[in-house]
Amino acid sequence: MTPDVQRMSLERGYQREDETEPFGYRDGLRNVRPSTRRPHHVFVHRDGNELDEPVWADGGTYMTYLKILQRPEQFAALPDDGARDATIGRLKDGTRLDLVGRGIEPHDESADVPDGLPPTSHVRKAGPRGPHDDNQIFRRGLPFVETTEDGQVRIGLNFCSFQATLAQFDVVFNDWLMSRQFPPQQSGADPGVDASPRSGPAAH
């Protein structure tokens, strides 16, 4: 029989007091608030949407983990701050690019789809809103810095999310971030994958 636990490892990260990720941008700004909405998205509800879950899973949650390597040298090589902001879809202080000067906090942003953002920006790919607004996950990103055996320094995020079903994470990661066809464009062109300079998950 295959053992339930096949491998264990320890990953280390840190939390920055300014809540920024390694590129210097505020992170997790539209995370599910600790209110009645968080339990709805995070925990299994057999009397609600997760009817096929076993009895023992009721009230539990699914956790996903990704070790995401980031490429700061590629990010720094972009032409200017405007190009870097366009890659993320926000200013470093968290202001969404199509809302600059309006004084709107991220949690108060409209659920309307932000079509004014570059289609491959991280905000446009990871948080399209509109009819997708009910597909949300509760996540935490802990930056890490490590040295490889050959002396190379690597940085990135230890990404962990919690959701009532793994389908919620699958939609965000595979159908949105990594899909070359999302979001669909009126011209019919493929926008491409998330533009954030990273090498993808190193582990999950």
3-state per-residue secondary structure call for 73-117: HHHHCCCCHHHHHHHHCECCCCCEHHHCCCCCCHHHCCCCCCCCC
Half-sphere exposure of residue 85, counting CA atoms within 13 Å on the CB side?
15
pLDDT band at 203 (very low <50, low <70, confident <90, very high): very low
Helix, strand, or coil (residue 144): strand
What pTM was computed for the model?
0.85
Determine which of 45-59, 72-86, 93-107 has the lowest per-residue pLDDT on average. Answer: 45-59
Structure tokens at 143: 């930056």
Res. 8: pLDDT tops 60: yes
Per-residue DSSP letters for 49-68?
Answer: T-TTS-GGGTT--EEEEEEE
* 69-95 pLDDT, tens digit each: 999 999 999 999 999 999 999 999 999
Contact 26, 19 (CB under 8 A): yes
Whether 175 contacts 167, CB under 8 Å: no
Over residues 173-195, the pLDDT tens digits come to 999 999 999 998 888 889 899 99
List, in sequence order, every residue forming a beta bridge with 161; answer none if it has no partner.
64, 139
- Does residue 157 register a pLDDT over 80? yes
Strand-strand pairing, 62-70 and 198-203: antiparallel
What HEC string does 152-187 produce?
CEEEEEEEEEEECCHHHHHHHHHHHHCCCCCCCCCC
More confident residue, 2 or 144: 144
Of 149, 93, 96, 156, residue with least CA distance to 122: 96
Tokens (6 digits) for 168 = 């919620």
